[in-house]
């Protein structure tokens, strides 16, 4: 079942983070706990681990852009899986 990857909260005061880049390519397998992407906070660059297992199906976040906490930045699911994109990320279309 496809799941939305969202911009995480790095600390209590954070409301947004700068997206650095994906550590996985589209179509590449992803394991739970494996580094998936990087974000920059006021203090450091963090590797963000995947909360889901599957394949990186879509990415919306662009390197160098800033996104609010909870904004969908990608989708992980099974290879070839059909899913309702709007149901996962809303009508706004994620971090596009």
pLDDT tens digit sequence for 8-35: 987 777 788 999 999 999 999 999 999 9
Instruction: Tell me the C-alpha distance between 63 and 82, whole Å.
Output: 27
pTM attached to this predicted model: 0.89
Q: What is the pLDDT of residue 95?
A: 66
pLDDT tens digit sequence for 34-89: 999 999 987 889 999 999 999 999 999 999 999 999 999 999 999 999 999 889 88
Q: What is the pLDDT of residue 92?
A: 66
Domain positions in the chain are 3-81
| CATH, range 3-81 | 2.40.50.100
- The gap from C-alpha 28 to its chain's centroid, in whole angstroms, comes to 14
Instruction: Tell me the C-alpha distance between 51 and 81, whole Å.
Output: 18
Using alpha carbons, select from 85, 76, 79, 94 the residue that is nearest to residue 30: 76
Instruction: Tell me the C-alpha distance between 46 and 10, whole Å.
Output: 8
| pLDDT over 60 at 96, yes or no | no
45, containing H or E segment: strand 45-49
């Amino acid at each position: 079942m496809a799941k939305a990857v969202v911009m995480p909260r790095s600390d209590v005061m954070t409301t947004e983070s700068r997206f650095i880049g994906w550590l996985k390519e589209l179509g590449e397998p992803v394991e739970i706990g494996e580094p998936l992407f990087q974000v920059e906070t006021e203090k450091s660059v963090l590797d963000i681990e995947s909360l889901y297992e599957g394949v990186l199906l879509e990415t919306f976040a662009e390197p160098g852009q800033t996104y609010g906490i909870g904004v969908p930045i990608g989708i992980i699911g099974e290879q070839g899986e059909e899913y309702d994109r709007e149901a996962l990320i809303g009508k706004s279309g994620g971090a596009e």
